[in-house]
Amino acid sequence: MSLRRVSILFAFSTFALFAVLVLSLLYFYRGGLFIETLFSERTLFSIRLSIYSATVAAVLATALAVPSAYALSRCDFPGKDAVDTILELPMIVSPAALGAMLLIFFNNPLGNWIQTRGAQFVFDSNGIILAQFVTTLGVATRLTKAAMDEIPQRYEDVARTLGASPAAAFFNVTLPLCRRGLAAAFILSWAKAMGEFGATITLAGTMAMKTETLPIAIFMKLSTADIDGTVVLILIMTAIGIGTLYAVRMISRKGLHA
Amino acid sequence: MRYGLLLLSALLFSMAPGFCATAHGEEGLLVFAGAASKPPTEEAAKTFEKRTGVKVDLVFGGSGFVLSQMILAKKGDIYFPGSSDFMEIARKKGAVVAETERKVVYLVQAINVQKGNPKGIHGLRDLTRPGVRVAIANPEGVCVGLYAVETIEKEFSAADKAAFKRNLVNYMESCEKTATAISLKTVDAVIGWSVFQHWDPARIETIPLKKSEISRIGYIPVAISSFSNNKVRARQFIDFLLSEEGKAIYGKYHYFMSPEEASAWIGATKPVGGEYVLPADWRPK
């Protein structure tokens, strides 16, 4: 068997693994309940909240990731290794631990001051965005840095010899060249934020029509031993998540090659 | 380098769970338990293990969540929820052997506040004061939340209820996290169980409710799971929980050991257990 066939076989095996998991949900599927749950006010609220918070968190994470990644990719500075290593913190500590860290931070005098004089985060929808932002920031920075590492420094140097300022060289040369990597960083951050559960539930709570995102709604259905309802919500979440990512992939493929 | 790799491999191998022999095997017990009884149940399980040599694995969580796990996994020897409401659901779903159900300990509702009561909360109506941050356990999945809603619905006027809901910042996802919300000072008060104070005496204080405000005494039931292949051992564990030695463990954590003891704390006799249907406005569709 050729390498090509073997690799395609592996690719389809990965697809089959996830497809079997999704299809196994149909064992508990009830058609009427799907429509009823999908168009209920509570589910629609959870969908809107999930999409809104994941988008805001991913935009913020990508916005902060670009300058950070540039510094890590292009500059040498004291403490660079420490900064680079801590990007993995959200992956090393569990999301629940990350949520607990945020909760403990807001229990400290500084956090308390922010809560009383600034915005509320604990048990508030702002907490969802913060939890998702903190969870995705490391991934967004790591992916953006990888994309920038692929662009040779020489291109910026050439632009500088032609009279461009460092900022102009970055915005006109490096950034457009790594747009595919940036798009990938944003998409992956969005997907990770959309499915985020542990940090969100710990910081923002589980209140229906207030802080109940789709992953939390799934957990709450399971918490009431409502397995049929759980299945419906997982199917809705899968359809929204995979559908959106597939659509974005198709659009960006056309756009980026244009 | 080669020796280093060999050493690392040996170390990893020794850490693999299957490498270490454990007492858990066919004779072990798997218990799905609500977090309402976590501290004493852990101690009771350890004592039972010492007495009998039977390993007891405990899975804790919200009562409904662990019930879902037990049903989906089709395994487990004992279901030990936080209250009678979830045992009722388990019975309806055929997940427990109904005739094996026993009452282990009794619980009474109370307000729990931060140690020293900094917000000066002395009763239910203080929870409607502007600026007081309140949480209850999620009434859709956690028993103590359902009891809280029952009290709010019974005691509050429409205006009081609206003021209470304005102060209500979160539904906690388990009994344990309802108590932790006070420990971490994320809220000023919760409507929980009187026993929460003894889970974290340095940070939690209990404010008793008026006797007229308490509708019923909660209890923690236990039953053998329908999926158990080890019903004799499971029965043995339940008998241990109900023995003097088992009861002494729960007594140490200030759970009430009889309805009479709970009634004496309240100052009035109240019905034990029963079912309460969550009103529609607490269950958005």
pLDDT for residue A250: 82
- Once rounded to an integer, what is the mean pLDDT over residues A2-10? 93
CB-side exposure of B95: number of CA atoms within 13 Å? 26
Residues of B in contact with A230 (CB under 8 A): 68
- Once rounded to an integer, what is the mean pLDDT over residues A233-238? 94
pLDDT for residue B19: 45
Of the two residues A2 and B113, the one the predictor is more confident about is B113
Start-to-end CA span in chain B (Å): 62
pLDDT for residue A251: 78
Q: Do B93 and A104 touch (CB under 8 A)?
A: no
- Helix, strand, or coil (residue B189): strand
CATH architecture group of domain B28-106+220-266: 3-Layer(aba) Sandwich (3.40)
CB-side exposure of B223: number of CA atoms within 13 Å? 24
Does residue A7 sit within a domain? no
Q: Locate the domains of chain B by residue range.
A: 28-106+220-266, 109-213
List the CATH number of the domain containing A65: 1.10.3720.10
- How far, CA to CA in Å, does A199 sit from each of A140, A151, A195, A204, B211? 17, 34, 11, 8, 39
Do B202 and B106 contact (CB within 8 A), yes or no?
Answer: no
Number of helices (H), then strands (E), belonging to chain B: the values are 11, 10
Which domain covers residue A31, as residue numbers?
A: 26-257
Does residue A3 sit within a domain? no
Burial class (CB in 10 A: 0-12, 13-18, 19+), B197: buried
Residues of B in contact with A104 (CB under 8 A): 184
pLDDT for residue B158: 94
Q: Do B285 and A104 touch (CB under 8 A)?
A: no
pLDDT for residue B96: 97
Residues of A in contact with B149 (CB under 8 A): none
List the beta strands (DSSP E) in B176-285: 189-193, 204-208, 218-224
Does residue A105 sit within a domain? yes
Does residue A242 sit within a domain? yes
- Once rounded to an integer, what is the mean pLDDT over residues A50-59? 96
Residues of A in contact with B187 (CB under 8 A): 123
Which of B65, B168, B169 is the closest to A223 by Cβ?
A: B65
Of the two residues A72 and A28, the one the predictor is more confident about is A72
At A83, the pLDDT band (50, 70, 90 cuts) reads very high
Does residue A59 sit within a domain? yes
- Angle ∠(A190,A96,A51) on CA atoms, nearest 5: 25
* Distance in angstroms (rounded) separating the CA atoms of residues B19 and B13: 7
pLDDT for residue A47: 95
pLDDT for residue A63: 96
User: Smallest Cα–Cα separation from B110: which of B26, B195, B187, B183?
Assistant: B195
pLDDT for residue B24: 43
Give pLDDT tens digits for A16-39.
999 999 999 988 887 788 888 889
| A63: phi then psi, degrees, rounded to nearest 5 | -60, -40
Q: Do domains B28-106+220-266 and B109-213 have the same CATH topology?
A: yes
Does residue A8 sit within a domain? no
Whether A224 and chain B come into contact, CB under 8 Å, resolves to yes
- Once rounded to an integer, what is the mean pLDDT over residues A124-153? 95
Does residue A162 sit within a domain? yes
Q: Do B138 and A103 touch (CB under 8 A)?
A: no
Q: Mean pLDDT score of chain A, rounded to an integer?
A: 91
Strand B189-193 relative to strand B109-114, pairing: antiparallel
Does residue A6 sit within a domain? no
* Distance in angstroms (rounded) separating the CA atoms of residues B7 and B25: 30
- How many domains would you assign to chain A? 1
Mean pLDDT by 10 residues, chain B (285 residues): 65 54 62 86 94 93 87 93 85 95 95 97 96 92 88 95 95 86 93 92 96 92 95 96 94 92 94 85 81
**CATH, range B109-213:** 3.40.190.10
For residue A82, the one-letter residue type is A
